[in-house]
Amino acid sequence: MQNQSLLAELKRETARRRTFAIISHPDAGKTTLTEKLLLFGGAIAMAGAIKAKKAGRHATSDWMAIERERGISVTSSVMNFDFNGCAINLLDTPGHQDFSEDTYRVLTAVDSALMVIDSVKGVEAQTKKLMDVCRLRDTPIITFINKLDRDGRSPFELLDDIEQSLGIEAAPLSWPIGMGKLFKGVYDLRQARLRFFAGQEGQTGRDARPREAVVLQGLDDPALDELLGDTAAGELRRDVELLDGAGYPFDMDRYLSGKQTPVFFGSAINNFGVKELLEAVADLAPAPRPRRADVRDVSPLEEQFSGVVFKIQANMDAAHRDRVAFVRICSGRFSRGMKLRHHRLGKDFKASNAILFMAQERSGVEEAWPGDIIGIPNHGTLNVGDSLTAGEPLRFLGIPHFAPEHFRRVQIRNPFKAKQLEKGLAQLSEEGAIQFFRPVTGGGVLLGAVGALQFEVIAERLASEYDVEVELVGTKYNAARWLFAESKEPLDKLAREEPMAMVTDAAGYRVMMFTSQWMMERTIEKWTAIRFEATRECADTTL
């Protein structure tokens, strides 16, 4: 009887979870949209004005000091809130390509994505790369075309850009009324509704929590011409009629299989189109689905708890020098104090201090369900890719380490702080954005990153969080590959012939460094018994 009751609760709670990542090219307005989703969802009372630094305000999701100073997102944030009966797990990701590794890992932990496109610029380079990552897992994508308050491309041109550049059907579910100075709002095609918003009583400005001021139902409402004007109302009716004849009709199955993206238009900074978008996420985005493990697919409706660590964040609470493992729950119910098995170490531990997130803010969690993201504070025992279960040994797959493309040598300015440097590099590298390597034969520590801007971040964080000042010096290397073979013999032979190019990563895996593409290709051609890999599963357990 108890199992039946738990199963019914598990089905109910899983069905109402919506776990999605917001992705975009830099400056498309992703973080502003995140703020407004939180605002419409009732999670915050006032959006942080990203540009109002003099007033000491910043985006809720940008909690690190460097993010507040530069006005960019350099790490992913998790935010939980309820909306229309759904439990929303929203993950705001970095847009800058130098921080894309964090974004790619987040995409392995979500069930869908929300892609933001600038209406002026259309589909951009980073958008295409993110789309390729989503396509690897057939991740369902909802698209929000932002900044309609500026003069940009026509809506029809933007739809065509999505289809041609991203290779996916674009099915509009809302439609803009005008553009730039003539922009008056959006028409909800899904609900055949037009809404206007105003601030709450006693509040003014674009950061006030919105309330519905006027709602029109259907294009035949006589108030439409009065509110929009004859010209705008006529254009809206013509556009909708054209879409009915020439546009892609929304198809739920094609959306869920990643073949079609429902498209919404709006202006996040002015609140237009945001509520329509949030309602669509609640109604259309998928609930948690089965996830791939080494031995089988794991259904979210299985009674036994399982989860995977997809991100580590050091020093979210600078006063306690903590490290928090972000765990995506894959199946079963989590309850405070339950015993979990750490399968990489083969040890059990009690999860008595797990937390839920609102960016940097946190609260204790008594229970959580599939699709939820919980944080488990630890002291370095949990790594990206680790699997946790309450029973069956499982190893969840698909969370990658990427080979760095940029390298720096670390020179410490105060040698007496070498231990602090060692600790800082060890903890910060656990996050996965920076990797550090130890030469097999002498030399100082070598740092590697997918994006060069990561080095500026690591230097600032070492100074602010560990009180260690370093100089990061350029190197001759421009590529690295992990080395794998059926036996150690060819690996040992390569190490003897190329000792200066051999390093080990923080987990002890062998890596070879290269000074040119030609040298790498020549080496790979010569050593056929060795696999030279540009990615490594975070869950790899065999050296």
Burial of 120 (0-12, 13-18, 19+ CB in 10 A): middle
CA gap 357, 374 in Å, rounded: 7
CA nearest 479: which of 505, 457, 501, 509?
A: 501
| Count of Cβ atoms closer than 10 Å to residue 272 Cβ | 26
> Is residue 58 a known part of a binding site?
no
Among 447, 352, 465, which Cα is nearest to 405's?
447
Q: Residue 488 annotated as binding?
A: no
**How many whole angstroms separate alpha carbon 543 and alpha carbon 541?**
7
* Residue 406 is assigned to a ligand binding site: no
95 is in an annotated binding site: yes
CB-CB contact of 379 with 430 (8 Å): no
Question: What b/e readout covers 407-434, taking b as 16+ CB neighbours within 10 angstroms?
Answer: bbbbebeeeebeeebeebbebbbbbbbb
Tokens representing 179? 């553009």
Give Cα separations from 287 to 156, 290, 372 (angstroms): 31, 10, 11
Answer yes or no: is 275 a known binding residue: no
244 annotated binding-site participant? no
19 annotated as a binding-site residue:
no
152 annotated to bind ligand:
no
User: Does 222 count as an annotated binding residue?
Assistant: no
96 is in an annotated binding site: yes
Is position 30 annotated in a ligand binding site?
yes
- Contact between 62 and 73 under an 8 Å Cβ cutoff? The reply is yes
Element (H, E) at 456: helix 453-466
- What is the rounded CA–CA span in Å between residue 529 and residue 484? 9
The answer to whether 412 and 418 are in contact (CB under 8 A) is yes
User: 199 is written with which tokens?
Assistant: 């601030």
> For residue 446, which amino acid is it?
L
CB 312 within 8 Å of CB 432: yes
Residue 499 is labelled as binding a ligand: no
Q: Is 27 known as a binding-site position? A: yes
Query: What whole-number distance in Å separates Cα of residue 430 and Cα of residue 421?
Result: 14
Any known ligand binding at 31?
A: yes
Taking alpha carbons only, the member of 448, 450, 465, 460 closest to residue 505 is: 448
Is 230 marked within a binding site? no
Query: At CB < 8 A and 24+ separation, what contacts does 218-227 make?
Result: 218/192, 218/193, 219/187, 219/192, 221/194, 224/194, 227/196
Binding residues: 24-31, 92-96, 146-149
Binding residues for GTP: 24-31, 92-96, 146-149
